[in-house]
Amino acid sequence: MVAFLRQRLIRLVPVYGAVVGAVIVAGGVFLSPTTTLEGLVWTTGVASLIPAAAPPLGMTARLLLALGGGMLAAALLWSSLFLLVGRGGLLVRRPRHHDDLPVVRRADAHPDAPPRKPMSAADLGTPMMEVGVGAARNERGIPVDLDLPLAAFDPTAILPTPMAPARPVSSLIHISLNATESVALNRRAAAGSADPVAMLEPGDVPVAKGHADTELPVAEPTVVAPATPPAEPTTPPKEAAQPQTIEALLRRLEKGASRRRRLGAH
């Protein structure tokens, strides 16, 4: 808002200057002494151009001279001020013009939000194709002796110090079998028993350490009586279907055809 008012005042400076200059010149001519005004008229040659302005000067001549001097001063001041501070004047700061700036309407233009240059590919930085690529690796050819160890062909392929072996994980339950139990299990497995659990007798089952003296509570089974006795089937089970022969199928087909004929006759 302030910038808009400032621009408007700058545009009206030539008009204000012309009005003020015209008033000053007209007042000076009208209020100047008669001798001074007549000498000025003879000196400037106005009397030779306008015979009515020749001395002696009356009130009408004085008014005409004041009006003419004021108009001349206003014209000179307006033109000079417009060339200095008017649109495109010498003292006006010219905005930077870009050929690629978008054109906006006057109603949309605002000094606080001027139109901006559209983004281009140059604003994104270095193109991807111009980015430097690292040097290629020095590849070695295939050795003549294919039995050459890999360490001799490519020393960096094998670490200078071997990696630490994986740490063995101990079992959570330690089961110990004596020699007699192991031989018994092997004999039963060789005999071809299908169930590996059945090969172990109650005395052969190993007991985990730390759990031998611990008795686990065993839940007693509870018998739930049915609310209603199951209903017995009322319909006898169907007899097994006997395989039908070709003669039986033909008789069945003839019976069906005769039944359809009787229904069609009715």
Q: When comparing pLDDT for 264 and 15, which is higher? A: 15
Q: When comparing pLDDT for 190 and 263, which is higher? A: 263
Q: Which of 18-27, 46-55, 115-124, 184-193 ranks highest by mean pLDDT?
A: 18-27
Q: When comparing pLDDT for 70 and 118, which is higher? A: 70
Over residues 217-227, the mean pLDDT reads: 54
DSSP designation for 196: T
Confidence of residue 239 (pLDDT cuts 50, 70, 90): very low
Tell the residue number behind the tokens 């200095």, with chain if given. Answer: 84
Residue 32's identity, in one-letter code, is S
Residue 60 has φ and ψ, to the nearest 5°, of: -65, -45
Residue 21's identity, in one-letter code, is G
Residue 45, pLDDT score: 78
Spacing of C-alpha 57 from chain mean position:
86
Confidence of residue 265 (pLDDT cuts 50, 70, 90): confident
Q: Is 14 exposed, middle or buried (0-12, 13-18, 19+ CB in 10 A)?
A: buried
Tokens encoding 213:
């003296």
Rounded to an integer, what distance in angstroms lies between the CA atom of residue 175 and that of residue 198? 18
Long-range Cβ pairs for the range 57-64 (8 Å, 24+): 62/29, 62/30, 62/37, 63/30
Cβ atoms 185, 204 nearer than 8 A: yes
Tell the residue number behind the tokens 């193109």, with chain if given. Answer: 127
- For the chain, give every domain's residue range: 15-85
Residue 172 has φ and ψ, to the nearest 5°, of: -75, -30
Statement: residue 154 has pLDDT above 60: yes
Residue 133, pLDDT score: 61
Residue 84, pLDDT score: 84
Over residues 98-123, the mean pLDDT reads: 78
Q: Among 127, 156, 125, which Cα is nearest to 140's?
A: 156
Q: Is 53 exposed, middle or buried (0-12, 13-18, 19+ CB in 10 A)?
A: buried
Tokens encoding 233:
């089937």
Statement: residue 254 has pLDDT above 80: yes
The helices-and-strands tally (H runs, E runs) of the chain is: 7, 0
Cβ-Cβ contacts under 8 Å for 131 (sequence gap 6 or more): none
Residue 235, pLDDT score: 53
